[in-house]
Structure 1
Amino acid sequence: MSPSIPFCFAMAVHDLLITLPLGAALGFFGGLFGIGGGVIAIPLLALAFGMDQALAQGTALVMMVPNLLVGWWRYQRRHPVPIRRVLAIAAVATGTTAVTAHFAARLDPTLLRVLFGGFMAALSVSLLWRSAPSAQSAAPRPRDALIPLVGVVGGSSMGLLGVGGGLVATPLFVRLFGQRQTVAQSLALALVTPSAVVALASYAQAHKVDWSMGLPLAAGGLFTVAAGVALAHRLPERQMQKLFALLLMATALAMTLR
């Protein structure tokens, strides 16, 4: 029995040496793009660590929740979010997330993977088109009547795919509400963070979370998410949008190749 103790300790140290730096990298890119890092973490957990799609989504949420909290706090300091405007959409988003996450955690993993890849591909094409000079136009005045719809769409994506709340909300705020990219990311983080908590609870209840992997990823990300947010405010907005879209396209390609 005794030789197994140092072996288990060595394996635990080895796992930490992998997951902590990985979490740090994911936290940085999550802060840079205002997405919590799940868009990179989920395909990585599925492809490199052999997790099924639902387990990868639930485990990624463990990392995303603290990253989203830190990222939103950092963005809030630079771009304060109108709390009254956010409360209605956050309530709708969390309610929608609770319903969709309950069913997503029990769906066929292959179907979930196809939905995940298709969503990323479609969104990346849309963002690349919007970042083109010919697609830029005068932004309309924000329409309050449309704000709850952002919560419905973002919450559905968050519950079904474990990501996408910020990916959907950010371009909607840019295009429909005329916000700058960094301001839109601040708004999206404020809306997505409570949805991520609800989604994590639903996946955990369905036993679709690997806490031994998710917690070290979360710890690593906490050290770097602030640096990603800081860099986001130094890059040109159009370049940010293109980088954002290319990241999504790479994710969709990885899921398709699998």
Structure 2
Amino acid sequence: MLHTALPALLMMLALGAALGFVGGLFGIGGGIIVIPLLVVGFGMDQAVAQGTALVMMVPNLLIAWRRYSQRHPVALKTALQIGMLACLTTWAVAHVATRLAPDTMRTVFSLFLLALAVRLLTKAPASPTAVAPPPRSLRCMPLVGVVGGGAMGLLGVGGGLVATPILTGWFRQKQTVAQSLSLALVAPSAIIALLTYSAAERVDWNMGLPLAIGGLFTVSAGVAVAHKLPEKRMQAAFAWMVLCTAVWMLVKPLVLG
């Protein structure tokens, strides 16, 4: 029993560490990566995989949020507004999403991410001599919580993938600042989602806790690397990550049969 349990434990710790680094680097929880791995690699039910992934995501998101906030302090009022709107939208959309065809909604969301990634990658670089436009007014920024919360309610993941490009594009925030703000949206939504899945007994704590522990050791390193990379390289890396996510979500039904 011990000989079979120990390798599985080490695998979960290593996977959690890898996803914790990615989560810290891009300001996401890593659930969009670990959920299909749990389904394909461990034969886990989709709902249980999503609930188990949340065990890892919640501490990763909270630590990343704290680290980003230390470097880019966000007004508490703005963070609370974004978080509250995200939580309310997540709750409302989740109730609607349960009545919709999940495959159709997943395909629509995937195509949206694909178009977003292509736009980010094909956006013409700014001229070195051009004067950068000032950031827009932050008065409407809490509404980003509605958009990101909608994505969280629809699929349980993806809030940061949607919110970050809006914050960098429309509100003209730096990539790392945008990731800090998106974490204010995703972190509280993930807590609500975890409590909901746990109450429904859709969480495998034996797998989720090692994933979470592994991520605790690497989230801060991912945040540190994000702040050392040039702004353009971070934006390109984020766009490629969104593109890969969109492609995977489109081909996942074929892989899972």
Please indicate, yes or no, whether the TM-score normalized by the shorter chain is above 0.5: yes
Q: Does the C-alpha gap of structure 1 residues 86 and 183 become closer, same or farther in structure 2, counting only changes over 3 Å?
A: same
2:22 aligned to which of 29, 41, 53: 29
Give the corresponding residue for 2:172.
178
SS of alignment partner, residue 202 of structure 2: coil
Once the two structures are superposed, the pairs formed by residues 3-18 of structure 1 within 5 Å of their partners are 7=1, 9-18=2-11
Contiguous gaps of at least 5 residues in structure 1: 1-6
Q: Does the C-alpha gap of structure 1 residues 173 and 252 become closer, same or farther in structure 2, counting only changes over 3 Å?
A: closer
Give the corresponding residue for 2:86.
93
1:205 aligned to which of 183, 199, 202: 199
1:254 aligned to which of 248, 254, 257: 248
Q: Does the C-alpha gap of structure 1 residues 228 and 211 become closer, same or farther in structure 2, counting only changes over 3 Å?
A: same
Partner Cα separation in structure 2 for residue 42 and residue 123 of structure 1:
22
Question: Aligned AA for 1:98?
Answer: W
Question: Aligned AA for 1:73?
Answer: R
TM-score (norm 2): 0.86
Please tell me whether the aligned partners of residues 72 and 190 of structure 1 are also in contact (alpha carbons under 8 angstroms): yes
SS of alignment partner, residue 35 of structure 1: coil
Give the corresponding residue for 1:133.
125
Q: Does the C-alpha gap of structure 1 residues 76 and 60 become closer, same or farther in structure 2, counting only changes over 3 Å?
A: same
Query: 2:222 aligned with 1:228, yes or no?
Result: yes
1:54 aligned to which of 47, 50, 66: 47
Partner Cα separation in structure 2 for residue 48 and residue 123 of structure 1:
29
Give the corresponding residue for 1:150.
144
Q: After superposition, what is the alpha-carbon deviation per residue over 1:148-207, rounded to whole angstroms, capped at 9, x for unaligned?
A: 321111111112222222111111111121211111111111222111111222233333
TM-score (norm 1): 0.85
Contiguous gaps of at least 5 residues in structure 2: none
Please tell me whether the aligned partners of residues 53 and 113 of structure 1 are also in contact (alpha carbons under 8 angstroms): no
Partner Cα separation in structure 2 for residue 173 and residue 109 of structure 1:
28
Q: Does the C-alpha gap of structure 1 residues 23 and 241 become closer, same or farther in structure 2, counting only changes over 3 Å?
A: same
Question: Aligned AA for 1:126?
Answer: R
Question: Aligned AA for 2:136?
Answer: P
Please tell me whether the aligned partners of residues 140 and 177 of structure 1 are also in contact (alpha carbons under 8 angstroms): no
- Structure 1 residues 67-76 or 96-105, which shifts more? 96-105
Partner Cα separation in structure 2 for residue 125 and residue 211 of structure 1:
37
Q: CA RMSD in A?
A: 2.5
Tell me how far 1:242 sits from its aligned partner. 1.4
- Structure 1 residues 145-154 or 215-224, which shifts more? 145-154
Please tell me whether the aligned partners of residues 102 and 202 of structure 1 are also in contact (alpha carbons under 8 angstroms): no
Tell me how far 1:247 sits from its aligned partner. 1.8
Q: Does the C-alpha gap of structure 1 residues 109 and 85 become closer, same or farther in structure 2, counting only changes over 3 Å?
A: closer
Partner Cα separation in structure 2 for residue 43 and residue 125 of structure 1:
23
Give the corresponding residue for 1:218.
212
Question: Aligned AA for 1:26?
Answer: L
SS of alignment partner, residue 156 of structure 1: helix
SS of alignment partner, residue 233 of structure 1: helix
Question: Aligned AA for 2:78?
Answer: R
Tell me how far 1:28 sits from its aligned partner. 0.3
Q: After superposition, what is the alpha-carbon deviation per residue over 1:115-149, rounded to whole angstroms, capped at 9, x for unaligned?
A: 5644542332233234x416999445433442232
